[in-house]
Amino acid sequence: MSEAAAQAAPAPAPPPAPAPARARTPAWRRVARWVNPVQLCFGAIFQREMRVSGRQRAVYWQRASLLLLLLLIVGMAYATAAIGRSTEIGISASSGVGQAAAQLQSLQTIAPSLIGTGLWVVYLCAVLMGAITGAPAIAHERRTRTLDAVVGTTLSGAEVVFGHIAARATQIVLIVLLAIPVLLAVRVFGGVEGGLVAAAGAVILSTVILAVTLGVWKSLSTARTTSAANSTMGLLAILAFLPLIWNVLAITRGWPPPPGWFWWLAHPFALGELTSRLYGGVGLAGLGFTISPNFWIGSILTNLAMSVAIAMLAAWRFRPAALSERLVAKAARAAEKRANRRARRAPARPAKAKPASLPPAAATDDAPAPEASASPAPAQDRATRTVGDYPVFWRELRQPGSASFMVKFVTGVAFIVSAYGLHRYDLLAEPETFISISFIALVVIIATAAGGGGASIAGEREARTWGVLLTTRLSRTEILFSKTLGVVRRQGFILVIIAATWLVACLAGAARPITVLHAAMIFAPVVLFLASTGVVLSLIMRKSTAAAAVNLLLAIALWAGAPILLVSIFGLVERYTTGSVDDFFARLLLATNPFYALGVAVEPVGAVGRARYSIPGDGRVGAGAFTAILAGVGTAWTLFAAGVLAIGVRIFNRYAYREF
């Protein structure tokens, strides 16, 4: 190129400037994001969750259902109390003015019980819903594989965690706020202090926030939403009853009573304190507990403080937990190692044949499959277990239970330490210890059986294995019954712990061996019944947590709500009749309520000589008769369970194929 041409040629374009490096967010801004509650709680996660829940019909059904339930209960309580009071007061005034005054007086007496009942219903439902709503937060994202996308954004762990808590708590808070006006409306009857209702509402709301926060926290480290929900409910129960257990020990063993601030953990007692005052009672402080009358304020503050602390812990642990794919891989490697160990231990089988292609018509029953050529790796066949002819049942039996090895190990150690502790303080031989443990065991087994049943089919749906299962030749009866037995089987670990406790109690002389049999006869049908209802609910409902929650509510309604209802109804009937209503009611209760039956079963504990069981109407019966009664009751529950499953089989086609 000539010099002139070179001069005329345009100058080469300068290389493009490198893109400026993205400036790191200043520290003060990051801190500001951390401390800005609006940024933390109402960011992208909150908005997404609210939009999603706003489109779900189930959310509106939940709200409407609770309101309807509340109105129903308030209505029933009103009707019961009004009739009873009218009879009690004896409205004999013939004049209209006198009648109206008597009616007004009656209503003022009724109002506190209406509000108290309503508050407890709202509390139970809201806290349960809080735990169940919070538990799927991260676990669901992990399962649907959207968690990586969230982690890949610039959202901080705190924004994700607080966003989830805020969104999920808002759903439940809305329900509670809808219910409170219904309860306050009862104030028109008079006789109720509005401040107490507001205080009770605050206790409920703070407990809901704690339940949601615990759910989100557990969700971080759990793959299954139902496991997270169960753990959350367990933690809430422990927090709620820890002060009471201490207090019982203090009374029975002369230990120092729990300090007043320790009662702040006990949220149901805070509500109990307030509702007791509604009724004009003396509250827990008046019953001899070392509690400040205003401990409910401490309870609210404790709930909120614990919520913030747990949320901050969850925020701190969010990224490590979210990126813990390596933990999944680690678990898979561990499983592989276990399989290899099994392979080494298992005796070698003859080498299998290996055809070059599929044997023709291999699956037909008539034609035998052709012999296949030798396998290149015969050792590989040795680690596997042989699947039986009922594959769903086979898998259900071999599925890992609700507890991991570590949990089982820790529980076992805790059991031994507890047993030693009880022995050390001479509590082991005391019947009260055995009775308390039996009742706690029944509560635990009901909770776990209800939760396990709910996860059975809905869990398959969530794991996307349900469709494939439906394309097989398995019958609906086989699927439902196998799933039910699987749920029962998964309660095995808890049942073993309970059985071990009873065994220790027997050895220590705190329980008769026959009581262990009776307790087993009470527990087994309950587990079977809840497993069957859980499986059918799991078939009907799309989400495992929803099915588990409804199943648990069913248990509460059957064994807590029904007795209250029966007491109300029979109390009314008794007023107008002079029959053996009490006996009839007690028999009915015995037949339907495992807690009552357990109470009768453990009553003669420690008695000298032959055990006698107080059966209403029949006086006291011997062990043989009581065993026969329990056998009859157990058979009835088992038949109920079979009936529920029969309904499930009947509606199977309607619900099993729904999502396709």
Partner 1 sequence: MIEIRGLTKRYGSLTAVDGLDLTIGQGEIFGFIGPNGAGKSTTMKVLACLLRKFEGSAKVAGLDVRTHADEIRTMLGYMPDFLGVYDDLTVDEYLQFFASAMRVPRKKRGAIIGSVLELTDLTEKRRSMVSGLSRGMQQRLGVARVLIHEPKVLLLDEPASGLDPRARIEMRALLTELGRMGKSLMVSSHILSELAEMCTSIGIIERGKLMYAGSITDAYSRVSAGERVAVRLEDEAAAPRAVRALEGDERVAGVKPDDKGRLVVTLRPGAHGHHFLLEILLREGARIASFTPLEVKLEDAFLTLTKGAVQ
Question: Which of residues 362, 557, 560, 631 is near partner 1 by CB under 8 A?
Answer: 362
Q: Smaller CB distance to partner 1: residue 576 or 660?
A: 660
The distance of closest approach from Cβ of residue 446 to partner 1 in the complex, given in angstroms and rounded to an integer, is 26
Cα–Cα dist 446/487, whole Å: 12
How many other C-beta atoms can be found within 10 angstroms of the C-beta atom of residue 396? 20
Binding string, residues 363-402; x marks residues near partner 1 by CB under 8 A: xxx--xxxxx--xxx--xx-xxxxxxxxxx-xx---xx--
Token pair 């009857």 is at which residue? 189
* Distance of closest approach, residue 320 Cβ to partner 1, in angstroms: 21
Q: How near is the Cβ of 412 to partner 1 at its closest, in Å?
A: 23
The position carrying tokens 């009901």 is 446
Q: How many residues bind partner 1 (CB under 8 A)?
A: 64
Axis-axis angle for helices 544-556, 431-462 (nearest 10): 150
Q: Are 545 and 654 in contact (CB under 8 A)?
A: no
Nearer to partner 1, 192 or 487 (CB): 487
Does 649 bind partner 1 (CB under 8 A)? Our answer is no
CB of 153 to partner 1, least distance (A): 23
How far from 384 is each of 336, 337, 372, 624, CA to CA, in Å? 11, 13, 19, 47
Does position 470 interact with partner 1 (CB under 8 A)? The reply is yes
Which of 285, 299, 306 lies closest to 200 in space, CA to CA?
299
* Rounded least distance, CB 355 to partner 1, Å: 5
What is the rounded distance in angstroms from the CA atom of residue 343 to the CA atom of residue 515? Answer: 43
> Following DSSP, what letter does each residue of 191-246 receive, concatenated?
---HHHHHHHHHHHHHHHHHHHHHHHHHHHT-SSHHHHHHHHHHHHHHHHHHHHHH
- Give me the least distance between CB of 395 and partner 1, in Å please: 6
Q: Is residue 653 a contact point for partner 1 (CB under 8 A)? A: yes
Nearer to partner 1, 319 or 658 (CB): 658
* Cβ proximity to partner 1, 390 vs 584, nearer residue: 390
Burial track 91-119 (b if 16+ CB lie within 10 A, e otherwise)? beeeeeeeeeebeeebbebbbbbbbbbbb
Q: Is 179 exposed, middle or buried (0-12, 13-18, 19+ CB in 10 A)?
A: buried
Q: Which of 473, 609, 610, 624 binds partner 1 (CB under 8 A)?
A: 473
Nearer to partner 1, 93 or 372 (CB): 372
One residue of 29, 253, 319, 354 binding partner 1 per CB under 8 A: 354
Interaction with partner 1 in 432-461: which residues (CB under 8 A)?
Answer: 460
Does position 358 interact with partner 1 (CB under 8 A)? The reply is yes
Residues listed for the chain: 660
Part in contact with partner 1 (CB under 8 A); list of ranges 89-97, 276-284, 323-331, 579-587: 323-331
Least Cβ distance, residue 101 to partner 1 (angstroms)? 58
Handedness of CA 19, 20, 21, 22 (dihedral sign): negative
Q: For binding to partner 1 (CB under 8 A), which residues are involved?
A: 328-329, 331-333, 335-336, 339-340, 343, 352-365, 368-372, 375-377, 380-381, 383-392, 394-395, 399-400, 460, 463-474, 653, 657, 660
